[in-house]
């Protein structure tokens, strides 16, 4: 296995670690890749299936042999991710993306919100934001949970590598925030974000191709909540989450989480 292939396997966001030294041929690679895909429960939305990594490595190899082109490890990872998203889009076009349960459980509101609006007692607000660095594709996710009086109950942040763009980072942040709110399934929760494109994609269930995977994950986890809304807010009202996201992308300390 050449150095570029080793770097691809070590840097790609796989569901779990794969021992690349055990891969001696394509058949073995497909078998081992499918095994970790089936045996690992999803823990983050930003992953690439191992078979698509193999496909990208194979096409990169062909370009090297037949076109004398050297494809970098980052380009190979991006090719695998793009191909998988295109495949997912094709599957979504064949069948509805949402179930009746999802449609019934999610209350959507995409109007511009304000922190002075009244809400029913017991409502939880979760403001999310993301920071993204183009030069290294790293992202920082930040989210703040507040009670009905807008008093902060928890602040969380998480750095994530290999994120393709700012919109994907914003969507990943909403997904991670929903993951952290699994103990509040019966509460009324309002997700607030200044990423209008992402909010619109969630509500319409018609995301652009580069957001299909993460929006599908958001809709799947949203189905478990009793009352969940998504609302756009101006950036001026989202500064707490913005600060956390910037700290996360600077630190790149995996899994950084803290609460008040």
CATH homologous superfamily of 100-258 equals Ribonuclease H-like superfamily/Ribonuclease H (3.30.420.10)
pLDDT band at residue 31, thresholds of 50, 70 and 90?
low
Give the mean pLDDT of 236-256. Answer: 85
First to last CA, the chain: 48
Q: Which one, of 153, 136, 132, 135, lies nearest residue 144 by Cα?
A: 153
- Is residue 167 within 8 A of residue 218, CB to CB? The reply is no
State the pLDDT at residue 86.
81
Is the pLDDT at 7 greater than 90, yes or no? no
Task: Determine contact, residues 121/148, Cβ cutoff 8 Å.
Answer: yes
Average pLDDT over residues 168-183: 94
Q: Which long-range contacts (CB under 8 A, 24 or more apart) does 1-10 make?
A: 4/60, 4/70, 4/71, 4/72, 4/73, 4/76, 5/57, 7/73, 8/53, 8/56, 8/57, 8/73, 8/76, 8/77, 9/53
Q: Where in the chain is the domain with CATH 3.30.420.10?
A: 100-258
Residues 6+ apart with CB under 8 A from 65: none
* Torsion on CA atoms 19, 38, 210, 169, rounded to nearest 10: -70
Residue 12 corresponds to which tokens in the numbers above?
Answer: 């790609």
Q: Are 119 and 150 in contact (CB under 8 A)?
A: no
Query: What 3 state SS string does 2-51 have?
Result: CHHHHHHHHHCCCCCCCCHHHCCCHHHHHHHHHHHHHHCCCCCCCCCCHH
pLDDT in tens, 179-205: 999 888 888 999 999 999 999 999 998
Round the average pLDDT of the chain to a whole number and report it. Answer: 80
| pLDDT beyond 80 at 214 | yes
pLDDT of residue 97: 43
pTM above 0.85, yes or no: no
């Amino acid at each position: 296995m050449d150095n570029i292939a080793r770097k691809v396997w070590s840097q790609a966001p796989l569901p779990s670690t794969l021992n690349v030294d055990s891969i001696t041929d394509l058949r073995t690679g497909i078998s081992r890749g499918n095994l970790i895909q089936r045996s690992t429960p999803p823990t983050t939305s930003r992953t690439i299936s191992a078979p698509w990594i193999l496909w990208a490595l194979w096409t990169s190899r062909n370009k090297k042999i037949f076109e004398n082109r050297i494809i970098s490890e980052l380009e190979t990872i991006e090719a695998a991710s793009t191909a998988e998203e295109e495949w997912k889009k094709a599957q979504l076009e064949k069948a509805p993306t949402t179930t009746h349960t999802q449609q019934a459980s999610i209350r959507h509101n995409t109007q511009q919100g304000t922190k002075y609006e009244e809400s029913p007692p017991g409502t939880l607000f979760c403001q999310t934001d993301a920071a993204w660095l183009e030069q290294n594709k790293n992202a920082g996710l930040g989210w703040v949970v507040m009670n009905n009086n807008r008093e902060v109950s928890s602040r969380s942040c998480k750095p994530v590598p290999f994120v393709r763009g700012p919109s994907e980072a914003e969507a990943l942040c909403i997904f991670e925030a929903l993951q952290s709110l699994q103990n509040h399934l019966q509460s009324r929760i309002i997700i607030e974000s200044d990423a209008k494109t992402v909010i619109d994609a969630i509500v319409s269930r018609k995301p652009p191709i580069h957001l299909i995977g993460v929006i599908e994950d958001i809709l799947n986890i949203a189905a478990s909540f009793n009352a969940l809304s998504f609302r756009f807010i101006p950036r001026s009202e989202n500064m707490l989450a913005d600060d956390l996201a910037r700290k996360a992308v600077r630190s790149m300390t995996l899994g950084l989480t803290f609460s008040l």
